Structure 1
Amino acid sequence: MVDSQGGQGGQALLFLTDDQLRKGIEAMFFAYRGFTADPDRILEGMAYGRAHHRAIHFINRSPGTTVNNLLSILGVTKQSLNRVLRSLIEDGLVESRVGKKDKRERHLFLTEKGALLERELSDAQRERMRAAYRAAGPDAVAGFRQVLEAMMDEDMRRHYATLKDRQV
């Protein structure tokens, strides 16, 4: 079997040239632009950006998550996350509840309005992913996910593992 780089099977992947790696890096940049373009258009009229989208996504995936957990997942400053959360709470998309065990904790939940926006954003991205996955085929999908997981830092891989197994 000859792969797309002209090599035999998976063996050619063990010896990627700098040019092949550069092409992969560029493909990742352009794919990311496509992946974020649809939600960006939806959020544009709401004065929200990607940080809002990411917060909404992960609050949806882990209802009741704490602000500290969200900080760890997003890798942003507390000040930056507070600005994002303040606007989402003020606009009625996110609800912050005081912890039952620890009153200092704030647990985050999407409101009905927040869940509707999250669904609109994720539907746009799922549509793009579904089309790409169909075009690439099941082996490529599995390989793509394996590559993405291998690129994650260890702490991000732990966060991903806890989300991956959740059914929402």
Structure 2
Amino acid sequence: MEKFFDLSFSSQPDGSVRLVQDDRIDEAAIIDLHPEQVLFVARRLCGMKPETADKLAELERRIAVLTDKLQNLVCNKAFRSDLIECIGDGFEYLAKLDGLLDLAMEFDGGRLEPDSEEAHADDGKPIYPPSAIAQAKKTKPSATVEAGGQLDLAV
């Protein structure tokens, strides 16, 4: 359980977030929240309007769909092989596609692991572009909204 001053917080097995505040006088106050509730409260405290939060949630969904579709294409072993074997500039195109996937994963918060089996080599290892993996592992999603508008959305 992590602690910030007198407030401890942890993720529970059911996916909820547990907040425990210990004032050292009485019993500790315990609140279990759904992660969406925590996100909602954080956004409201940062000044985000509910309609902006809805737009942001829709944008996050669209970016996730775009990333998944792009990842299924770029990480497909047959596609990569055909591109290299059939096109003279295949390596250049792959480098550009890998960079585009890196960017998509950055916007998506670094999600990995496509659902399809075709994104794995014959030995069972994923064939992700190495740069995409390194970047995605460094990326962590954030629930905060910076002043001035994140993604040019009014807050």
Query: Which protein has the bigger helix share?
Result: 1
**Structure with more strand by fraction:** 2
Instruction: Please say whether Structure 1 and Structure 2 have the same fold, judged by a TM-score greater than 0.5.
Output: no
Look at both structures and tell me which one has the larger radius of gyration over its CA atoms.
2
